[in-house]
Amino acid sequence: MLKTSIFSLAMLMMVAPGTNAEPQSEQSSVSTIESFSILPAIRSVQTSPDGKHLAVLKATSKNGDYVLEVRKTADMAAEPVRLGADKMRISSVSWLNNEKIGVMFRQLLEDSGSKYWVTQFAITNANGKGEWLIPFRESRQGFSIIDLLHDDNKHILVEGDVNDNYIPDVVKLDIYSGRTKTLVRGSDKVNGSFIADKDGDVRVGQGFNRADQAIDVFARKKGDDEWIKIHSVSGEKRETFDIAGVSAEQPNKLYVIANQGENTTGVYLYDIVDKTYSERLFGLKSVDVDAVLQDKEDNLIGFSYTAKHPEFYFTNPEYQAVQDGVKQLYPDKFVRVVSRSEDDNTLVVMTQSDDDPGTYYVILNKKDIVKLGEKMPFIDKNKLGETKYISYKARDGRKIRAYLTIPQGKGPFPAVVLPHGGPWVRDTVIFDDWAQLLASHGYVVIQPNYRGSTGYGLEHWKAGDKNWGLKMQDDLDDAALYLVDKGLATKDKLAMFGWSYGGYAAFAASMRDKNIYQCTVAGAGVSDLNRINATLNDNPLLSKLQKPTIAGVSPVEQVEKVNVPILVVHGDIDGRVPIEHSDAFVNELKQHNKNFKYVVLEDADHFSDTLFFDHKMTFYSELVDWLDNRCGLK
């Protein structure tokens, strides 16, 4: 909670930014592919609650090998405390209080010849003294911090499987001793998505109802241990219903993000006692609400949503003043306060734009600005493209929003359609590594939020149901044709590249009738709809909600129709989309004597935090070479 009133940070415009940042590395000695393969130099920056220290997750090599640097804000030039351990691949950090830091890290384990990545949680002292505390064993089931308990400096609430029965529990963890006390034992009825109120009482949870084949959402009245079912999410209706928090002012009311009969989601207050909803507190006609913003004492301070970029609408004028102030400091960039002290005398700010992959600054005492460093300092900004937020009409008239990255020079350019994964997500592009890598090599890139993407309302989301490889694929082809129509590309220089669902789309694109592409690149793609549906049976939520929507073209069954060259890339320990999808497709390509290349990334999982420098160097080199030469786009 804010302890002091905030004057407008626009006054900072009269203060010259600090110049004591670390010197930038030479770019000339690094190739474009290598510059994009090097892991971010800074992964995150967090301020301690009292603002006296910064926790900086900093790379020590091209491969990341992150260490945690703890710096004193009163003396930024002083040598920091460095924390880390061998074989500990740190992925994120958070201050638990002014003395303790929570660290999430990943480890690659091998069991009976099978390799897999696991996540672990550890606690360390900010001063670098003492042993690391690892209170839980490695977990493949997930682990999360529920609440930092602002009135209790010694404990936090965490959700995890503490008794190894694959059902999450809620535990009160002593961050000094590691001792735990189970507050809520997960059951067949309530077993996840727990939320606590400002007093640390667990008030919300959910579970899968096998009898009704639905996701049941539960809440408890203040001071009561009895779970009350307040909503049931079915696969047929599939309207959004997310508990976003508990009201501090009215503890028996919950903030809910829901459709409530509208196309886009809005925010409502739900009364647990009366079982009634308020009028819509906040919502837009064009896009969904992302989140309800509350301070650490659960007081409502605003809402967030995403149009072109994430946007914040603050109902609290002090928070709005801070946001307005930092925006004025960098008017041509997307600016976000990523961490703040309790008194707002220490603000960590990150800027981004199409020529800024991410730059961290710290604002001290509302007057001094220090540049901490860039995420990707090796990239040659002179080669980057300009990114625009555009819309185009699909062949049936549907409006599709998309991000367009235009390279340096004069068009038309060779073009790449880059569909996002999911598909139940949406692209939000400020700086996209893959789009800018391709733009740096002269390609114009379009990233459509095709039908089936979320964020633009229920109708656009559901329009993708059972249209895998069909109308969803038409939207992607229409994106390529839009580029041709606008003079940005020509019909003989088009390609598609995607990862995950985007990889599926690239599989499907390789076999389209009257194909408009010269080649495709399928990364970690789904090739067999029957196989992916069987995988979804392991997740009750996806089995109920998503499985009925997956129907259409199953690429592995139609490989004889492949009519353009295809590059297939997959990590060999992919836990989300098993490599068997690519193996099966490639085997069929061989049987039908098709033009292809298969690249397997050793020890790579599905997600980006398991793609290291060597993976990216191999992948990006093959990608650019394939487009330039095997596709003949250059």
User: Do 302 and 389 reside in the same domain of the chain?
Assistant: no
pLDDT at 551: 85
24 CB neighbour count, 10 Å cutoff: 11
Structural domain includes residue 352: no
Tell me: do 194 and 290 sit in the same domain: yes
Residues 396 and 269 in one domain: no
Same domain, 386 and 307: no
Backbone angles phi, psi at 256, to 5 degrees: -125, 130
Give the count of beta carbons closer than 10 Å to the beta carbon of residue 286: 12
Residues 527 and 451 in one domain: yes
Is 582 found in the same domain as 453?
yes
Q: Does 404 lie in the same domain as 277?
A: no
Q: Domain span at residue 302? A: 187-315
Cα 77-82-88 angle, rounded to 5 deg: 150
CATH of the domain at 557: 3.40.50.1820
Q: Within this chain, do residues 406 and 482 fall inside the same structural domain, yes or no?
A: yes
**89 in any annotated domain:** no
- End-of-domain residue from the set 296, 315, 334: 315
Give the pLDDT score at 210.
Answer: 75
Domain match, 406 and 307 both? no
Together in a domain, 194 and 270: yes
Domain count, the chain: 2
The answer to whether residues 126 and 94 touch, using CB atoms and an 8 Å cutoff, is no
What's the pLDDT score for residue 2? 30
Give a yes or no: residue 20 inside a domain: no
pLDDT in the model for residue 25: 46
The string of DSSP letters for 588-609 reads: HHHHTT--EEEEEETT--SSGG
User: How many of the other CB atoms lie within 10 Å of CB of 371?
Assistant: 16
* Those residues with Cβ within 8 angstroms of residue 139's Cβ, 6 or more apart along the chain or in another chain: 118, 119, 120, 160, 161
**Local mean pLDDT, 10-residue blocks, the chain (634 residues):** 31 34 51 96 96 95 93 94 80 94 85 78 91 72 83 92 81 93 90 92 90 86 94 80 95 96 96 96 97 93 96 94 91 94 94 96 92 95 96 97 97 96 93 97 98 96 94 98 97 96 97 96 94 61 70 94 97 91 97 97 86 96 96 83
Domain boundary among 315, 340, 372: 315
Looking at the structure, tell me whether residues 415 and 310 fall in a common domain: no
Among 265, 300, 315, residue at a domain's last position: 315
Q: Is the domain of 458 the same as that of 311?
A: no
